[in-house]
Chains A and B, each alone.
Chain A
């Protein structure tokens, strides 16, 4: 993985000391809250309902075991012994004292981590496919390009005060695990017929108050033009994006109002106007960065993994774990293990300090010291020998992290909701917990098959409800929480936004409503190979709507 050079290390350390001075001046009263707020947000510190919240960047979701141990240490020493992994592959602490934040950031800097640009109207943490560099179906590893974009966008003077926040995501596989089409810019790394690397570029996607699937702006952008072209897009947005209305300030609104053809024309004109070679990527630099992401030396391991096969035959839960939590690796004899942070009835994305330490130990011992964070709020051990699966599974089970439910109905994305978030209108975590408990870990959840439920506690959609196969949006009506349901959303390469079923449901009704949807699906699917999403696309909303509103009484929203 990428290692800081001297410039990076100095840059992050200086930034910590600047923030330490800003916090001291705030606590002494030299800075007012209005003067300080911008600085604190630029360093990832929010004020939430109960306390401050510190959001730490995990660039493109890649972590070493040393870094995860440091995150555990921060949770233990400065917080309440746990942390929360988010839908932007970041980690959040829910209880830090403002006075401690400079010390926390100084500790994080020792392991090459920071909170820069995890808030504010700037280019946020760049996200990527959590299986980047290891997925068997990958064409090109997107991480070197994510790192190049990270370096370019860090404290970029022209883009530190954009009309609104700006999010980039990359994938290097045809199967999109990074939700690139619901980002401001989505980049798919591809190879053309000549075998040359380039990018299919999408722009103007996003969820929230106005939600849009991104439009394709370039079919094939040559590799060397990555920065020049992305720069042209962001410059057009910076100049033309609306600053008069916060709710219309994202690039998705500009693309929608301008139209993709006019947007393309403006971007291409800006791109063509560039002085020659100013941002053209030198091949030597690409090669240098790419070298950081080389596949670690993996010992030749047996592909038939007799120990694993034996355990599979004897232990149904282990077999279920292998089926749902282990994905195909590029190297024969290895697998990618996704660790579910969705224990039945648990809080999606939360991990205790002890669990983080245990996972860090496993990464050091069984996964070439490497970890990933997924936008679906899980962790990944990217290089596990198939032979080691039983021992890894047992170690995960010992700390409550062996839930075999990746991609299933209980692998729910949930934003923090009204339990923590100052913007939320309803709670989302308790709904996730009740759905999880309702379906549990047993045979029925496996019978249901792939089903992605995503819950947001407000219209801003941090819980990605628009792209849930079943999306749940928590709102407040007359002082009471109510939940709207959407169906048919997905963030993969067939990206679509969910369609509203109709009137919302009360907190008491919402789990039954989800059960009704699942039951309806099970009744109408061709066979177990037809997923919820495929079945919905075949039959449409009508049977689900009928089942929901004949059986349940809507809240009449």
Chain B
């Protein structure tokens, strides 16, 4: 379906996604989705500044699709980064996703 840009926050390592406006968000549901009409390359290049400004590390793009309106990475590793860990529902993104 498209791609989103992800990274880890420098100071605490939290998984973040590039948001639709300026800045990074913690939930993939709030991430900006890039498709054919919205090229990811300039946005990815622009994140270099956030790396230089010591906000995030390890920036890269991941593939996502949408099932029943819920945005999910297509690869298991990224799905676990975005919503896991699967074994500790009380911690990390698992907890946030439970509301």
Residues of A in contact with B (beta carbons under 8 Å apart) = 26-29, 33, 47-52, 80, 95, 97-99, 347, 418-420, 424, 426-427, 429-430, 433, 476, 479-481
Q: Report the minimal beta-carbon distance from B78 to chain A, rounded to whole angstroms.
A: 9
Q: Report the minimal beta-carbon distance from B86 to chain A, rounded to whole angstroms.
A: 6
Choose among B13, B77, B80 the residue that contacts A51 (Cβ–Cβ < 8 A). Answer: B13
Question: 1/0 per position for B7-26, CB-CB distance to A under 8 A?
Answer: 01011111100000000000
Task: List residues of B (32-88) whose CB comes within 8 Å of A's CBs.
Answer: 51-54, 57-58, 74-77, 80-81, 84-88
Report the Cα distance A51→B81, complex, angstroms: 10
Closest to B12 in A: A97
Cβ of B13 and Cβ of A98 under 8 Å apart?
yes
Cβ of A418 and Cβ of B54 under 8 Å apart?
no
Output the residue of B54, B57, B84, B85 with the most chain A CB within 10 A. B85
Known: A27-B54, A50-B85, A347-B87. A419 touches B80 (CB 8 A): yes
Known: A418-B76, A479-B74, A481-B76. A97 touches B11 (CB 8 A): yes
Closest to B93 in A: A50
Q: Report the minimal beta-carbon distance from B16 to chain A, rounded to whole angstroms.
A: 11
Closest to B86 in A: A419
Closest to B77 in A: A418
Cβ of B86 and Cβ of A427 under 8 Å apart?
yes
Closest to B84 in A: A419
Choose among B11, B53, B80 the residue that contacts A98 (Cβ–Cβ < 8 A). Answer: B11
Closest to A79 in B: B91
Cβ of B87 and Cβ of A51 under 8 Å apart?
no
User: Can you report 8 residue pairs joining A to B where beta carbons are below 8 Å apart?
Assistant: A27-B54, A51-B12, A51-B92, A97-B11, A97-B12, A418-B76, A427-B80, A430-B87
Residues of B in contact with A (beta carbons under 8 Å apart) = 8, 10-15, 51-54, 57-58, 74-77, 80-81, 84-88, 91-93
Q: Report the minimal beta-carbon distance from A20 to chain B, rounded to whole angstroms.
A: 14
Closest to A346 in B: B87
Q: Given contact pairs A29-B53, A47-B58, enumerate 5 new A-B contacts (beta carbons under 8 Å).
A: A26-B10, A50-B84, A80-B88, A98-B11, A418-B80
Task: Collect the chain B residues with CB atoms within 8 Å of residue A99's CB.
Answer: 11-12
Report the Cα distance A27→B93, complex, angstroms: 24
Task: Collect the chain A residues with CB atoms within 8 Å of residue B75's CB.
Answer: 479
Q: Report the minimal beta-carbon distance from B52 to chain A, rounded to whole angstroms.
A: 7
Q: Report the minimal beta-carbon distance from A202 to chain B, rounded to whole angstroms.
A: 35
Closest to A425 in B: B77
Report the Cα distance A98→B74, complex, angstroms: 29
Q: Report the minimal beta-carbon distance from B57 to chain A, rounded to whole angstroms.
A: 5
Q: Report the minimal beta-carbon distance from A507 to chain B, rounded to whole angstroms.
A: 10
Closest to A49 in B: B81
The 10 tightest CB contacts between A and B, nearest first, are: A97-B12, A51-B13, A419-B85, A52-B13, A29-B54, A429-B87, A50-B92, A49-B81, A419-B87, A99-B11
Task: Collect the chain B residues with CB atoms within 8 Å of residue A27's CB.
Answer: 10-11, 54
Report the Cα distance A454→B64, complex, angstroms: 33
Task: Collect the chain A residues with CB atoms within 8 Å of residue B13's CB.
Answer: 47-48, 50-52, 97-98
Q: Report the minimal beta-carbon distance from A55 to chain B, rounded to whole angstroms.
A: 14
Cβ of A95 and Cβ of B91 under 8 Å apart?
yes
Q: Report the minimal beta-carbon distance from B36 to chain A, rounded to whole angstroms.
A: 22
Output the residue of B14, B15, B52, B76 with the most chain A CB within 10 A. B76
Report the Cα distance A98→B58, complex, angstroms: 15
Cβ of A479 and Cβ of B57 under 8 Å apart?
no
